[in-house]
Amino acid sequence: MSWPVGNNTRNTRLYCWKAAPTLFCTYLSRRPRRPQQQALRPAAKVTDIQSAATNSNPSGTCYGCGAGLHTEQPGSAGYINQEVYAVKKQHRQLQQVLCERCQALSHGGMVPGVLERSSRQQDPPGGHSAAQMRRLVSPEELKAQLAGVRDTKAVVVLLVDLLDASGSFLNRVRDLVRSNPVLLIGTKADLLPAGTDLAAVEEWLLQMADFRRLTAIGACIMSSRTRHGLSDAARAILTQRQGRDVYVVGAANVGKSAFVRSLMQEMGSMSSRHFDAAAAEHRRRLPVESPMPGTTLGPIALHAFASGGTLFDMPGLHVDHRLLHLLSPSDLQALHPRKRIRPYIPPPPSAFCQTSRRDSRCSASYHWGSLARIDVAAAPASLQLVFYGVAALKVRAEPLQRQGNQYESDHDQPAHSRPDPPQGLCSSDSEVGQSTVAARGGLRLAREVHIEGRGHDGQIADLAISGLAGWIALHAGAFQGPIKLQIWCPMGIEAFSRPPLPMPDPFIA
């Protein structure tokens, strides 16, 4: 070959000599070559959750709820107009569509998406036809979508509603996530009574996790609305992630979508110390939040980390023993807390006691709207019940009717034989959930509570109804002898007796 050098017109020929092969080169030339497909690096394992939440669905998915898009059965999850679907499909924008159900939820509508237990036994909620009910997702299908979490290396963010901590704290979490690290986050801190020590609440939440045999890597108390504690939660997630995916899990209606929205806005803000350019790209299309349980119906994948990894908003688990899965959409909207709950102090059981002796055993019955009743069978005169809940649930106190070994309140008697409540001992009646309770046969005994005297003043225990926002705090002075109570709820609803949630003194004005 000839190679011109500079401006010299002479052609300089370059020669290449082939060196004699060595023994090692001869070995390599005789070594059988691997097939090409084996030489390639194996592809990364893709779980069922990742494939369900990405573009693997040819018909597209709603970015608000994760449901598959379709053009049949208006009003159901994933439905969009046929013309809109055709335009989005032509422009390859099926992953940027919000279904009509999510649009209604965004404007305050209460459109069911899950076939609740009450819907299977009664008429379809909201007047849906049988064909529309077939489009509802069953709780078993939602739970099956979380099966892939245990097979992947990820960080799991477990959300707990602080207003319903006992009912929304998932049992046997390790069966769902295996050995993946779990970060515990208490939501709706802005709805706790004013003056609450959130640091003490965080410690109380960790103690509850230890009681349920869940070892968490940390805990945070935050509010998605006021963004209090959001920076701490984001820092904990980013510190523990280490390149792994993040799964946000929890019971239905604990605020998962609201938390994901707030987290994406925090990471997408350039003024935040946790700014991520990948999260800023998703700020316009985020999951829909709604007081309706079962808003999210499928895994929603958000590429929130520029360094790699995905943030998954997972469907909430529908636990049968929670009250909110029995109520109608109108009752759910009435019981949805929108501002700080305040303590209500009804008359103590001693107000119904026949004697004025301090060592006498007092009794009373307390109705919490139409959804629950607390019967105080025996208690010292110093016992005081404090109700924390929404304003729609009114508290009514009345004497406890004794019939042999059974305790029956005036509420269980026929209407024509029911005596009028004493003047000044009633905070008015409530009709929220009354039809639902009547359809299930009224209130049934859910739990009996027996507390021995511990000889000190203050809050001694809490009573909670699963799925009901709020709780009942028991206060008593130094007393001797037991406190016996009965908690009555609709059939299938669970009640709890737990260590007291740290609260400010309700008796100080």
Question: Residue 215 has which token pair?
Answer: 């070892």
pLDDT in 10s for each residue of the chain, 509 residues = 444 444 444 444 444 444 555 554 554 455 454 444 333 333 334 455 555 554 445 578 999 999 999 998 888 899 999 999 999 999 988 888 999 999 999 998 888 888 876 555 444 444 444 555 557 888 889 999 988 899 999 999 999 999 999 999 998 899 999 999 999 999 999 999 999 999 999 999 999 999 999 999 999 999 999 999 999 999 999 999 999 999 999 999 999 999 999 999 999 999 999 999 999 988 889 999 999 998 999 999 999 999 999 999 999 999 889 998 888 888 999 999 999 999 999 999 999 887 655 556 789 999 999 999 999 999 988 899 999 999 999 999 999 876 433 444 444 444 333 333 333 334 444 478 888 888 888 999 999 999 887 666 788 999 999 999 999 999 988 766 789 999 999 999 999 999 999 999 999 85
Whether the Cβ atoms of residue 122 and residue 225 lie closer than 8 Å to each other: no
Nearest by Cα to 324 from 465, 192, 448, 187: 465
The structural domains of the chain, with segments of one domain joined by +, span: 2-39, 48-319, 342-498
- Based on its alpha-carbon atoms, the radius of gyration of the chain, rounded to whole angstroms, reads 30
Q: Which residues share a beta bridge with 158? A: 184, 249
Between the two ends of the chain, the Cα-to-Cα distance in Å is 101
Question: Whole-prediction pTM value?
Answer: 0.81
Whether the Cβ atoms of residue 81 and residue 72 lie closer than 8 Å to each other: no
Integer Cα distance of 195 and 201 in angstroms: 12
* 205 φ/ψ angles, rounded to the nearest 5 degrees: -70, -40
Q: Which residues contact 127 (CB under 8 A, 6 or more apart)?
A: none
Of 3.30.70.100, 3.40.50.300, 2.40.170.20, 2.30.110.10, the CATH number of 48-319 is 3.40.50.300
Q: Are strands 218-221 and 245-250 parallel, antiparallel or unpaired?
A: unpaired
Indicate the Cα dihedral angle 367, 369, 370, 371, nearest 10°.
-90
